[in-house]
Amino acid sequence: MEGSNLLSGVVEEENDSQSAQIEECKSGLKKKKKILWVISFVMCTCISALMIWVIIYYASKKQPKIPRPNPVQEWYKKESVYEILIQSFQDSSNNGIGDIKGN
């Protein structure tokens, strides 16, 4: 009977030490989870703040206006046009009709 008590005492001590180790592991995991949550929260907050800052910076920055090309204009809208009336080209008699004889 004494041997069985001794054996049961050793088994109980092993069970106690194993359960203590399991509790230590669980508490260690809980601490690691908390640390990971805090790190993830801080990183997300920093990334969000950086994104907001970039948006505000570029929104407030005055962008240079890009000159837009004019649509294709027809030649007579951008060039000078001269009209020569043959009748008034040379008028020696000052009657408003030129000296060049036509058909």
CA distance 24 to 27: 5
For tokens 């090309």, the residue is 69
Query: What residue ranges do the domains of the chain occupy?
Result: 11-61
Q: How confident is the model at residue 20 (pLDDT cuts 50, 70, 90)?
A: confident
Q: How confident is the model at residue 77 (pLDDT cuts 50, 70, 90)?
A: confident
Q: State the pLDDT at residue 39.
A: 92
Which residues fall within 8 angstroms of residue 93, CB to CB, at 6 or more apart? 99
**Which tokens in the block code for residue 69?**
């090309």
Condensed to tens digits (0 to 9), the pLDDT of residues 52-70 reads: 999 888 888 777 777 776 6
CA distance 55 to 46: 14
Structural contact between residues 54 and 63, judged by C-beta atoms closer than 8 angstroms: no
At residue 103, does pLDDT exceed 50? no
pTM over 0.85: no
At residue 89, does pLDDT exceed 80? no
CA distance 84 to 13: 123
